[in-house]
Each structure stands twice: as structure tokens, then as C-alpha cells.
A and B are shown apart, each in its own frame.
Chain A
Amino acid sequence: MAHPLLAVQGLYKAFLLHLIDGRTISPLQEVSFVVEPHEHFLIYGRSGIGKTTILKCIYRSYLATAGQIWFASQRFGRIDLVQADESAILQLREQEIGYCSQFLRVLPRVSALDTICEPLYRQGMARDHAQAIGRQWLSQLGMSPELWQASPVTFSGGEQQRINLGRAFIAAPRLLLLDEPTASLDGETKQLVVEMIRAAQARGTAVISVSHDLAVLGPCADQQLALL
């Protein structure tokens, strides 16, 4: 393989806060690393050290202040996610890069099934087909069928996180970004997450997770990056 799947070079992020007298805060000092296909790359460190900032810069929810993030895209070839135009990013989000936030942000009045299927709909999969896959995922995640048509707004934190993870994994992206995937989960579900990561790797997905939960995710990581 000529290029790694993802090469982060000199990534730096600062926020200029216009409303607070133009003060600048920089949660993330320069960071560089490389992620290979199929790899599980774990970033750990105490909270507030900028772990999430890295993921958001990769996903372009944040605009990096400096550095490059080279991604080996199937659609566009080698592309710098810092500079790529928005429509390219949107296409990459649909087809190649998934993101699982720490908390599920759901659209109100949309059922659990539709929520989990949404990435498949976006990829243009037929509704029936997508929902068949969605149901499989929901039962694997241990969601009882009477909840499938309900809105996740009413779910418990653990249930919401399961939906959140399912949504991220279902699309089988080439790169999956997980933000504290085991937070607010019980031990059994934490193990489920580890299995899901392994299964995704087996299907060809590279995973970058950020966590302070080294005990659970450490053993299944191929590489680790500690932020100090």
C-alpha cells in the first residue's frame, strides 16, 4: 500500500473567541499520526486534552487551524480533509467516513429503526432493504422490538448509546471515528462495543476511537496514542 488510510500531519486547532474579547484557546497542540486500513487506533488521555478535537477536525466539524489530514479516498484519491470542499466532505461522510459522537443527537419524532437506517438511506439503499438490515442491528444491539418504532428521545442513556453506535457501524465506512464509545455503558455492553469494533475491522473498516477507558479498549487496539 503506497499510502496509509489516514495521515495526520502537524494538526493544530485554536479557537478565536470573538465574543470574549478575541481570546484564543487551543485545546490541541500539534499532533501527527498515521492510521492504516483495518487498524483500530486508540487515542487516550485525560478529558480536556483535545482527543475529541482531533476527531472533529478529521470529520470537519471543526476547521483545523494548521496541519493536514490526508485521507486515501476511494472516490477522490488522496485528499486533504482540512482543505477539501464541502461537497466532497459530504460525499465522504455518506460513503467513507463515519462518526459516532459521545451522545446520540436524534431528530425528534423519528423512530429508532429509521434513525439507525438513516446512513443506509443516505447511501441510496432501498427502504425495505435498509430496514431489514436495520432490524438485524437492533436485535444484535439487544433492543427489544417494541422499541423499534419509538423515538429514541424517550430511551435511557445506555439504549440511546446503542442506537448511536449502531448508526455508526451499520454503514460500514472505510474509516469510523468513535468518541468515547464505552462511556455510560454497562460492562456487558462495553464488551459488545469491543466485538463490534473487531467485526468492523474484519469487514475492512479502520477505527479511530478516543477514550479514557484504556482497560476496555486498550486490549483491542492495534496502535495507541497517548495525549499528555
Chain B
Amino acid sequence: MERPTDDWLLRVEGLSKRYGPGCPSCSRLTGPEAGTSQCPRCGTVLACVAAGLSLRPGEVLGIVGESGSGKSTLLQMLNLAVKPDSGAIWYAEPGGGTPIDLLRLNAYSARRFRNDRLGIVHQRPELGLNMHFSVGGNVAEKLLLAEWRHVGKIRARTSELMAQTELPVERIDDAPGTFSGGMLQRVQIAKALASRPALLLLDEVTSGLDLSVQARVLDLIRRIQWEEQITMLLVSHDLGVIRQLARRTIVMKSGHIVESGLTDQIMEDPQHPYTQLLVSSAL
């Protein structure tokens, strides 16, 4: 097999996370075949088992699976918000940086990395935004942690981001509570982009939105991907969303990655029984 490129931004190896004490039967009684990630004997949830993936700069990778498949756990581990039990998350700054294992960063550096190099958009805006602060303040948070200390410059950059995400700039000082669901996703995207992150994590960003609003948010994400050539990891239970944005896709089931491949191959020639079920249900 050819090894055509080592040019990756993120390389995840053997990432595992479990909740609960664990018992000798856990791995036997859970997984895609067992159809559950929770051990019936000890109650431990094997939320993510030995996940591996790599991301090239500028690429969009989709992660698809039902709720409880472990896709959100995987995303939260990549967001450095959930600490894995084992594994490594190697990161190489585009342009030939020395790879670092993000899991070995101390709390302070991890926090800075998360702020400066990662951006995340949650399904529920209240997870990503502080509803007590203005929209501008929310977007500014990343800039402030990156030590921007000039209100004028912060507001200029915030306005720029709001314009880029098609938000009314004159509402910069309004409270998020006065914004619609679709607009709040835009605010989250604007905030995520504020630090010009290397990797954007999108967690079910259009679930729960009206169809027409969903479409516009997806258009925005696609446009930004084009313009900024930003690397994205897109988690969704909706194959339609994945198909529109991701060129490679990972399929998760009961804590395991059961299949990964080019998105069109996953759609047209799915290998794993679960993927076949997923594709046949979507069409």
C-alpha cells in the first residue's frame, strides 16, 4: 500500500472513554454486535472504544451515527473537554509544525489550545454561548482569551465576523435571547471562527432547526469552508447533512467506528451491516 502523504493536521490513535468501573465482561458484552455500549453486567458505558482517524488540512470529515453511538463523546474528546482514558490526539500545525500530543498538554496550555486553535459549534446554543452577555461579548470571548486588549479592535473584528456569518452587525450589543435559533447558530459559528482556528468542530449544528433555516446554516458553513479552507469535523445523525459537506465519513455504532471511507463510497457501497441499514433508511 502506498503512503502518499503524511500531511495531516490531526491524527487520533486508540482514543477510548468509558464511564463506570468496568468489568472483565465489558468489551465482550458491548459494541456494534451487542447493539449497546453499556455493559449489562456492571453498567459501565464504553462510550468510545479505540477510535482512530486522521484529518488533512482543509478537509471536512463527517461522523455519522445514532445517539449513543459515541460520536459526541469523540467530538468532546477532540475538543479537549472530555479526558480520554487512553489514546493520543496528535496535532501538527499546518506548514510543518512538530506534532504534539494534545492530551499531554497541561490544563492551562490545553485551555489556550482549545481557545486559539479549535472552534466548536454546539447543537444547543446555550452550551456554546453565555446568554447573559451580548452577542458581541460572546464572540469577543475568544479574542479576549487570546489577549486582545483593545475594545475598538475587538469590536471591529467582531463586526467583521458577524458580517461574514450574515448576522446584522447593528445588533452586536443585543442579548442572544433576542435572536432566533438559526441566528444563534451563526453567532456560535462567528465565535468559533474568531480565533481563526485550525479545526472547526460541528456538533449536530442544524438539528432542531426548521428545514429552511437548516439549509441556510449549511450554506453558510459550506461557504466558509470554501473561503477559509478550514478543516472541519462534522458530527451528525443526518446523512443528508454529511453528504453535503463531508468528503470522507466515519460511521459509528455503540462506541465503535464500524466503517470509514469516502462519503460517496459510504453512500453507494456501504460495507458494514449498520451502514447499509443507515443508508437504506436515509434514502
The reply to whether chain A is a binding partner of chain B is yes
Task: State the A residues within 8 Å of B (CB).
Answer: 15-19, 56, 60-63, 75-76, 79-80, 83-91, 107-109, 121
| Contact residue among A63, A75, A85, A87 (Cβ-Cβ distance under 8 Å from B265) | A63
Q: Which residues of A contact B56 (CB under 8 A)?
A: 87, 90
The residue in chain A whose Cβ has the minimal distance to the Cβ of B219 is A109
Asked if B262 and A61 make an inter-chain contact with CB atoms under 8 angstroms apart, the answer reads yes
In the bound complex, CA of A60 to CA of B280 (Å): 20
Q: Known contacts A17-B276, A62-B268, A76-B4; can you find 14 more A-B pairs with CB under 8 A?
A: A18-B272, A18-B276, A19-B273, A61-B268, A63-B269, A76-B2, A79-B4, A87-B4, A87-B5, A88-B4, A88-B5, A90-B248, A91-B4, A107-B222
B244 within 8 A of A: yes
| Residues of chain B in range 33-55 having any CB-CB distance to chain A below 8 Å | 54
Q: Which residues of B contact A88 (CB under 8 A)?
A: 2, 4-5
Q: Which residues of A contact B269 (CB under 8 A)?
A: 15, 56, 61-63
Known: A90-B247, A90-B248. A84 touches B268 (CB 8 A): no
B87 within 8 A of A: no
Asked if A75 and B268 make an inter-chain contact with CB atoms under 8 angstroms apart, the answer reads no
Known: A79-B2, A90-B247. A19 touches B277 (CB 8 A): yes
Q: Which residues of B contact A75 (CB under 8 A)?
A: 4
B108 within 8 A of A: no
Known: A61-B265, A90-B59. A108 touches B4 (CB 8 A): no
B1 within 8 A of A: yes
Known: A86-B262, A107-B244, A109-B215. A56 touches B2 (CB 8 A): no
- 11 A–B contacts from the bound complex (CB under 8 Å): A19-B280, A56-B269, A60-B262, A61-B262, A62-B268, A83-B1, A84-B4, A87-B5, A90-B262, A107-B244, A109-B215
Q: Which residues of B contact A84 (CB under 8 A)?
A: 1-2, 4
In the bound complex, CA of A121 to CA of B223 (Å): 12
Identify whether the interface residues of A are mostly helix, strand, loop, or mixed. Answer: mixed
Asked if A86 and B264 make an inter-chain contact with CB atoms under 8 angstroms apart, the answer reads no
In the bound complex, CA of A63 to CA of B247 (Å): 16
B180 within 8 A of A: no
Q: Which residues of A contact B226 (CB under 8 A)?
A: 121
Q: Which residues of A contact B54 (CB under 8 A)?
A: 87
In the bound complex, CA of A170 to CA of B247 (Å): 20
How far, in Å, is A173 (CB) from chain B's closest CB? Answer: 17
The 4 closest A-B pairs by CB, nearest first: A18-B273, A88-B4, A62-B269, A61-B264
Asked if A86 and B248 make an inter-chain contact with CB atoms under 8 angstroms apart, the answer reads yes
In the bound complex, CA of A84 to CA of B3 (Å): 8
Known: A19-B273, A19-B280, A109-B219. A91 touches B5 (CB 8 A): yes
Q: Which residues of A contact B248 (CB under 8 A)?
A: 86, 90
B271 within 8 A of A: yes
B14 within 8 A of A: no
In the bound complex, CA of A32 to CA of B138 (Å): 60
Q: Encode B58-70 as 1/0 by CB contact (under 8 A) with A.
A: 0100000000000
